[in-house]
Amino acid sequence: MGLRQLRTNSGWYEYVQVGSHLQLNHQTRAASRVRDQPPTTGAEKTGVEDNGGMAPAHPLRLRLLGDFLLMCGDEVIEISSARIQSLLAYLALHREAAQTRQQIAFLFWPESSEAQARNNLRQLVHRLRRIWPTMDHWLTVDASRLSWRRDFDLHVDVDAFEDALARANAAERTCELPAFRAALTLAVAHYRADLLPACYEDWIASDRDRLRQSYARALDNAVGFLEEQGDYATAIEHAQLRLRHDPLEEDGYRQLMHLHALNDDRVSALRVYHACASMLERELAVQPSPATRRAYEALLSVDARPAPPSAVVSTFVAAAPLVGRRPEWAEMLTTWREASGGTPRLVVLAGDAGIGKSRLAEELLTCCSTICNGAIRTRWSGCTTCCASTQARRC
């Protein structure tokens, strides 16, 4: 027989076990209540206190891109079980829709009977509660549902990544270039690694692939934008991230070679080619494609330092960077790369006088001449359907 503690709706009380009965340590509940907070448990380790059902004081942060990490305030909540990590990740990624116990049980144990699957889920929740005694502050757990509560702040890095992408798309539509660059930079920074790479559950494959594709598009957009702005050094950094993201994609090596050449660094461009050839031989036992080989041979055929752009282009190119032609510029660069790889391509710039056709063409000439050491030549030809005020429509 010893002094113990009992939790009721009105607080915690001391009591003594006498046979099959509970005897309060004092005559009245008011006198016997020792405090309104629970006894010392693992709650102090997570910075969470019982506050009468109100939302916890500290936000919860959940990292899913890369290694799993759960934090409350500045304290790490240690959860080493891969299956429990998977369960919390699934609930976080799908918390907008109510998840029933039956759905979760079937998803995590598809080959078990319904009864066995539901029992497995009960055991998993019991293990979680033992590891994380204050989980009921954050999770709704009842006979039919299992979900994150919506009345407190749960910060998930996946949400931050996708929110940054949405802001970048909105800024691009309204041509807010500084906001577009800032949002893309933030999105790339949030994506530390693939979604829980150590998790092999079937449910995670579609979410992981979706996020991988979003990250690849973000890097492609960032590289194109930075190249357009003439920030070749930062474009190279993002192209290297793109290559690490998908090291078997040969287009990424050609893009990086192209950017190094624009940055007046032929040695690094050649080094990228050799890295590509080694990777293809080691992983796939194949040689670089003809397009990659031609890009390499073009680098070998020019002097180490490209001629200044001013020596090969006219005065049409202004000192300020090209602004407001991202889709057209991206399409022209893509077409140029295909043509330089040996595929015949034709681009026609058509439009009303004064909208910037000449500037766009001269910008492309500057870019290509830098890569090819001034070996690019052009001839402007007038069309018979020219405007009288401009003498000719340049195509």
CATH of the domain at 120: 1.10.10.10
Are 9 and 80 contained in the same domain? Answer: no
Are 24 and 102 contained in the same domain? Answer: no
Question: Of 152, 168, 191, which residue is a domain's last?
Answer: 152
Are 29 and 66 contained in the same domain? Answer: no
The total domain count for the chain is 3
Model confidence pTM above 0.75: no
Residue 43 forms part of a structural domain: no
Residue 362 has a pLDDT of 67
Residue showing tokens 């033992």: 130
Residue 77 forms part of a structural domain: yes
CA–centroid distance for 112 within its chain: 34
Local structure of 104: helix, strand or coil: helix
Give per-residue pLDDT as tens, 170-206: 999 998 999 999 999 999 999 999 999 999 999 999 9
Residue 317 forms part of a structural domain: yes
Distance CA 383, CA 377 (A): 19
Are 391 and 328 contained in the same domain? Answer: yes
Residue 167 forms part of a structural domain: no
What is the span of the domain harbouring residue 121? 60-152
Question: Of 118, 152, 186, which residue is a domain's last?
Answer: 152
Are 103 and 144 contained in the same domain? Answer: yes
Residue 101 forms part of a structural domain: yes
Q: What's the rounded mean pLDDT across residues 338-351?
A: 77
Give per-residue pLDDT as tens, 74-124: 899 999 999 999 999 999 999 887 789 999 999 999 999 999 999 999 999
Distance CA 184, CA 166 (A): 9
User: What is the DSSP code string of 191-244?
Assistant: --SSB-TT---TTHHHHHHHHHHHHHHHHHHHHHHHHHTT-HHHHHHHHHHHHH
Query: With contact defined as beta carbons under 8 Å apart, do 34 and 63 qualify?
Result: no
User: What is the DSSP code string of 112-179?
Assistant: S-HHHHHHHHHHHHHHHHHH-TTGGGTEEE-SSBEEE-SSS-EEEHHHHHHHHHHHHHHHHHTT-HHH
Residue 357 forms part of a structural domain: yes
Q: Nearest Cα to 70, choosing from 52, 47, 53, 51?
A: 47
Residue 39 DSSP label = P
Are 78 and 11 contained in the same domain? Answer: no
Question: Of 90, 118, 152, which residue is a domain's last?
Answer: 152
Task: Name the pLDDT band for 365 (thresholds 50, 70, 90).
Answer: confident
Rounded to 5°, angle at Cα 192 from 190 and 196 = 110
Helix %, strand %, coil % of the chain (to 5): 50, 10, 40
Residue 97 has a pLDDT of 79
Residue 73 has a pLDDT of 86
Q: Which residues of 89-111 are buried (b: 16+ CB within 10 A; e: fewer)?
A: bbbbbbbeeebebeebbebbbee
**Burial (Cβ within 10 Å: 0-12, 13-18, ≥19) of residue 275:** middle
Are 8 and 88 contained in the same domain? Answer: no
Task: Tell me which of 42 and 351 has the higher pLDDT.
Answer: 351
**Burial (Cβ within 10 Å: 0-12, 13-18, ≥19) of residue 46:** buried
Residue 144 forms part of a structural domain: yes
Residue 31 forms part of a structural domain: yes
Mean of the per-residue pLDDT values of the chain: 77
Residues 6+ apart with CB under 8 A from 314: 362
| HSE-up (13 A, CA, CB side) for residue 111 | 1
Q: What's the rounded mean pLDDT across residues 57-61?
A: 80
CA–centroid distance for 230 within its chain: 24
Q: Nearest Cα to 33, choosing from 17, 15, 13, 47?
A: 13
Are 144 and 84 contained in the same domain? Answer: yes
Task: Tell me which of 392 and 380 has the higher pLDDT.
Answer: 380
Are 70 and 32 contained in the same domain? Answer: no
